[in-house]
A and B are shown apart, each in its own frame.
Chain A
Amino acid sequence: MMADVSAEQPSGTARWTFLASPSLIKIALLVVVAILVLGPVIVLLRASLAPQDVLPFETSAFTFANFRQIFAGNDTFTLLTTTIAYAGGSVLLGVGAAALVAWLTERTDMPGATVIRVFLFSWMAVPPLVIGFGWVLLINPGNGALNVLARAALGLTSPLFTIYSFWSLIIITAFSVFPTAYVMLGGLFSNMDPQLESAGHVHGSRSFTVMRRITLPLLIPGILSVGIFMVMIVVQAFEIPFIVGLSAQIRVLSTRVYLLASPTTGIPNYGLSSAFGVCLLGLACLLMWVYFRCVGTGEKYRVVTGKAFRPRRQKLGVWRLPVTCIVFALFGVMILPLLMIFWTSFTASYQVPSLAALGSLSFDNYSRALASPFAQQAIINTLVLVFASATLVMFLGSLIAWFSVRDRGLAARILDVLAFAPTAIPPVVMVIAILLVYIRTPVYGTIWILVLSSVTVQLAFATRTMTSALTQLHKELGDAATVCGASWWTSFRCITLPLLRVQFLSGWLFVAAHTSRDLTIPLVLMTSSNVVLASAIWMMWDFPDLPGAAAMAVLLVLGLLVIVLPVQILATRGRSGA
C-alpha cells in the first residue's frame, strides 16, 4: 500500500514547490502591497514637508512652509467651503433623485422598471470625461446647442444656460452621482421586509401615513450612509471639476492638487501640491470615519436582511403616467450630452445640430482617427492597460482575500488593512504620489506606470469583492485538495480560483470599465509614449479637434458598452428569475 505511493517519485518540478508555500507568498504579498500603497503615502508626506520646487528624494530639509502657506491665506478656507458646498449640493440632488427613482422602480407599479435598471447599471460604461465634454457642447454660453436653439426659438439675446457656473457644475455632478447612488439604494429598497409595512396597514394607517411614519424612517439610515459615501466619492472626484469647473474659475481641492503638480505654465510645485494632497487625504479619512460611524448606528435598523422578499408594490393610480413621463424625461436629459458627442463625431467641424447640417455628416472623423498612428497607439495602450491592470488587480485581490479569510494571522490582518487603505486615498492624490515615487525610474513614461497606478487605486475594490466571495465558499473544498496532496498553490489555482470565477469575472469587468474610462491617472502620468484613449480624447479636445475627440469618445463608449451591457442584462434577468 505504502510502496505504491513511494513508487511514484515526484518529478523535477517538485524542487521549486517551496516557492509556493503559503507563508512565502504571504510575505511576498505584504511586500508588494506595502510598496504599492505605503510607498506613495510616505513619499507624499515627505514631499509635503520638503521645500517647494524640489523632488522629495533630492533634499534632506524638513520644513512646514507648505502647510504654513496653506493655512495662512483666505484662499484655503474658500477652497474648503467650495469643495464641501460642491460635494454636499451634488450629493443632495443626486442621492435624492436616486432614492425617488429607486422607490419608483422597486416599490411601485411604474412601467419600464427593468429598462431603467439596466440603463442605470450600464451607465458606468460612460466616462465622466465624455459627459463633461457633452455638457460643454450643449450649454456653453457662446455656441452651446441648447443656447443656440433657445435663442432661435425664444428670440433671447443672452444665453439661457451657462455651463460656467457653480450650479451647472453641481447639476452635472448630480447626474453622475445618480446612477451609482441608485445601484446602492436599489438593493436597500427591494430587500426591505414588507411585513414591517403590512403591520402598519393592518393597524389602520393609510398608505401615505405608512410611507411617512414607517417606510421612510426605516430607510433613512441606509440613504444617509449612501449619501456620506457619495460625498466621499465626490470630494475625491477630479474629472468633472477639472473639465467643467476650471473654465468657470471654480476650484476644489482635487483640481488644486492637480494644478499645482501639473501647471499649464511654470514649474510644478510638488511641495505645495503634496501638502494640499495631505489635507484632501485628511478630509477623505474624516468622511470615511463618519461613514463607518453611520453604518454602525444603522445596524440597529437592519431591515435589509439576506432573505429575498417579494415587496409589496404601491399602486400609483392617476399619477402613473405623469411620474413615468418625468422619470423618462430625466433620462432623456442624462443622455443629451452623449447624443451631442455622437452628433459631433460625424461633423467635419463642430456645428450646432440642425436638419441642414444633416447632409454634411460623414464617417471621416472615424477613419481619420483610426488611421493616425497616435490613435492606434492609444487604442493599443488602452487594451494593454485594461487587460493588464484588471487581471493583475483581481489576482492580487484574490490572494489577499484568501489570506484575510482563511489565515487570519497578524500578517494577514495587516495585509487586509493595507489593501483597504486606498479607499480613503483620493485617486488624484495617489497618482501624484506615485508620480513622485517613480519619476526618476525607467517605469515613468511607460504604459506600465499606468498599470501600476490603476492596480493601486482598484486594489480595495478587488480585495473586497473577492473577500465577500470567498467567505461564501466552504473551507472544506480547499482542505480536500490539500489532503489529496495538492500544494497550497495548486489548491488555490485548481480549486479556489475556478470556483470563484463568476465573482472574479464580474470584478474584472468592473475594474476594466473603470480603468478605461478614467482620465485622472493617464493625465497626471502622461508622456508622449503612454497615451491611452482617455488622455488622447483630452489632448484632441484641448488641441482643439472637437470632432476627432468626439469620434474617439464614441469609440470608447461603444467599447465599454459591449463589455458592460450584456453582463447587466444577464444579471437583471437572473435577478427577476430568482
Chain B
Amino acid sequence: MLKVSHLERTYPAQPGGAAVQALKSVSLSVEQGDIFSLLGPSGCGKTTMLQCIAGLETPDAGRIVIGGETVYSRDERIHLPANERGLGMVFQSYAIWPHMSVAENVAFPLLQRGRNPGREQIARRVDDALAMVELAGYGNRSATQLSGGQQQRIALARALVHKPRLLLLDEPLSNLDAKLRDTMRIELRRLIKSIGITAIFVTHDQVEAMGMSDRVALMRAGKVIQVGTSKEIYLNPHSAFAADFMGSGNLVACTISDVDNDRAVTTTPFGQIQAKVAAGLRAGDDAILVIRPNAPIIHTQPVDAQGDLAQIPGNVSSVTFLGEKIEVRVCLSGGYDFVVTMNTFEAPVEGQKVYLTLPAERCIVVHKDHPVSSAARSVDLEGLAA
C-alpha cells in the first residue's frame, strides 16, 4: 500500500547551527489494512517522515509510492502536491478550525479540488462520519466548545469523511490526559480496523505503539533501527537501543564466550548466563545482555539449577510500591544493581536474600550501540536511578 525507498531529507543549516540530517536513506513498506507505527524519541525523524508522506515536506531524494501511484520520485522528477494525494490526516494539535462549526470542519474535504457532491450528499456523509466517531448531532456546535477528546474525534471524522486511501496520525493521543488516552487508543484501533483503512501512526510512546499497531518501525537519528510486530521487537530486539526503547530492562555489559545456533553463553559481572543471541554476534564480541524486569523467576530459597537455567543470589536493597506491581532492586554479587518487578502480593522485605532464576529464552544478547547511543542511554539509566 505504501512503499518508501531510500528517502533522504536534510534541513539546511540555520544561522548559528549546522544542517540537520532528518532522514538518512529510509526505506519502509506497509501492507494494505495495516496500522503501522513510526516510533522513536524526539528528533528521530518520524514526523519528518510522516510529513514527507503527506506531501507537506519535500524530501531531497528517494521515492514514495502510495497504492501503486508514485507521489514522489526524485529520479523521475515527480512531486504530487499534498492536496492531490488524497490522504486523511489527524494532527497533533487536531487543527480543528475554530471559525467553523463541527459540520463545516468535517465537510471541508468533500468540497475541495472542484468537487461538489451536492447538499444532501454532503449532509449524509458528514452525518455518517460524525456517527462513526459517536458524535452524531454535534454538527451545529462550534468546534471550540468541544473537549479535547471530542476535538480529536472531529479531527478523525474530518480525516476519514472523503474516504482517503491512507490515514496519517501525528501523535494523536499526546494531548489527552492519561485515562482518556487509554480508552481512545483502544477506540481508535477498533475504528480504523472496522473501516479497513491503512494507517500510519507517529508516536514517541512505546505503550501507544504496542497497543495501536500491527507493525512498528523503530526510528532513531534519521534511520529505521528495526521493523516488526511490537512483540517481535520487545522480545527480540537487535540492539540495546531497541531493547531499551521498547520497555524498561536491565542492560548488562557482557562478553560472549560461546555461540551455538541461536543460543550464547555470556560472561557478566555476576556470572555466566545463557541467552538467545541477536543475528551477527560471534564468540568473543562485547555485547549487551538484556533482561526484562519481569523475566527472572524469584525464589526465597535456592533451587536446583538445571539445563540452561542460571541462578543468581542477591540481597533486596529497596522495594518500591507502584500499585499493580512492585519494583524491587536486588544487589547481585559484584555489586550490580538489578531491577525486577514482582506481584504486589508477593513483596519481599528489604535486606532479604533472594535467588533469581533466569531461563535462557527470557534473556537476549544484543549489539552494543554506536557511541552516540550509549551516551543517550546512560542518561536514561541515570534518570531511572534517580
- Tell me whether B99 and A499 are in contact (CB under 8 A): yes
* Total cross-chain contacts (CB, 8 A): 96
Which residues of the partner chain A approach B165 to less than 8 Å between Cβ atoms? 1-2, 5
Chain B nearest CB from A477 CB (Å) reads 5
Those of B43-85 within 8 Å (CB) of chain A:
54-56, 67, 81-85
Q: SS class of chain A's interface: helix, strand, loop or mixed?
A: helix
Binary flags per residue of A240-253, CB closer than 8 Å to B gives 1, else 0? 00000000000000
Starting from the known contacts A5-B162, A482-B55, 6 additional A-B residue pairs (CB-CB under 8 Å) come to A2-B86, A474-B93, A479-B82, A480-B95, A483-B82, A490-B112
A491 to B111, CA, bound (A): 12
A8 and B87 in contact, given A483-B56, A485-B162, A486-B108 (Cβ under 8 angstroms): no
Enumerate chain A residues within 8 angstroms of B98, measured Cβ to Cβ.
Answer: 499
Interface residue? B40 (CB, 8 A): no
Determine whether the beta carbon of B95 is less than 8 Å from that of A476: yes
Size band of the B side of the interface?
35 or more
Q: Does A153 contact B (CB under 8 A)?
A: no
Contacts of A474 in B (CB 8 A): 93, 95
Instruction: Map CB proximity to B onto A524-539 as digits: 1 under 8 Å, 0 otherwise.
Output: 0000000000000000
Point out which of B89, B114, B159 has the most chain A C-beta atoms below 10 A from its C-beta: B114
13 A-B pairs whose Cβ atoms sit less than 8 Å apart in the complex: A5-B164, A10-B113, A14-B113, A17-B113, A21-B81, A477-B97, A482-B55, A483-B54, A483-B87, A483-B168, A485-B162, A486-B83, A495-B97
Q: How far is the CB of B154 from chain A (nearest CB, A)?
A: 11
Chain A residue nearest to B158 (CB atoms) is A484
**Chain B residues closer than 8 Å to A305, beta-carbon distance:** none
On B, residues with C-beta under 8 Å from A are 54-56, 67, 81-89, 91-93, 95, 97-99, 108-109, 112-117, 155, 158-159, 162-165, 168, 197
A480 in contact with B115 (CB, 8 Å):
no
Interface size on A, residues (CB 8 A): 32
Q: How far is the CB of A14 from chain B (nearest CB, A)?
A: 4
* Separation of A5 and B116 alpha carbons in the complex (Å): 12
Q: A4-B163, A484-B109, A499-B99 are known contacts. Are A11 and B88 too (CB-CB below 8 A)? A: no
A175 to B195, CA, bound (A): 70
A494 to B67 alpha-carbon distance, docked (Å): 30
Beta-carbon nearest neighbor of A487 in chain B: B83
Complex Cα gap A487–B92 (Å): 22
- Determine if A476 and B91 form an interchain contact, defined as CB atoms under 8 angstroms apart: yes
A483 touches B89 (CB 8 A): yes
User: Across the interface, which residues of B come within 8 angstroms of A498, CB to CB?
Assistant: 99
* Minimal beta-carbon separation of B374 from chain A (angstroms): 35
Q: Are A13 and B108 in contact (CB under 8 A)?
A: no
CA distance A375 to B67 in the complex (A): 68
Give the chain A neighbours of B67 by CB distance below 8 A.
2
Contact A485 B109 (CB under 8 A): yes
Contact B91 A484 (CB under 8 A): no
What is the chain B residue whose CB lies nearest that of A495?
Answer: B97
CA distance A13 to B86 in the complex (A): 19
With A and B bound together, what is the CA distance between A13 and B112 in angstroms?
A: 12
Interface string of A462-486 (1 = CB under 8 A from B): 0000000000001011011111111
> What 5 A-B pairs have minimum CB-CB distances, sorted nearest first?
A485-B112, A10-B114, A480-B95, A484-B109, A476-B95
In the docked arrangement, what's the CA distance between A72 and B87, Å? 71
B83 lies within 8 A of A1 (CB): no
- The distance in angstroms between the C-alpha atoms of A499 and B99, with both chains bound, is 7
Q: Which residues of A contact B115 (CB under 8 A)?
A: 8, 10-11
A476 touches B97 (CB 8 A): no
Contacts of A8 in B (CB 8 A): 115, 117
A21 partner residues in chain B, CB cutoff 8 A: 81
Tell me, rounded to whole Å, the shortest Cβ–Cβ distance linking B111 to chain A. Answer: 9
- In chain B, what residue has the closest Cβ to A480? B95
Are A5 and B108 in contact, with the CB atoms below 8 A?
no
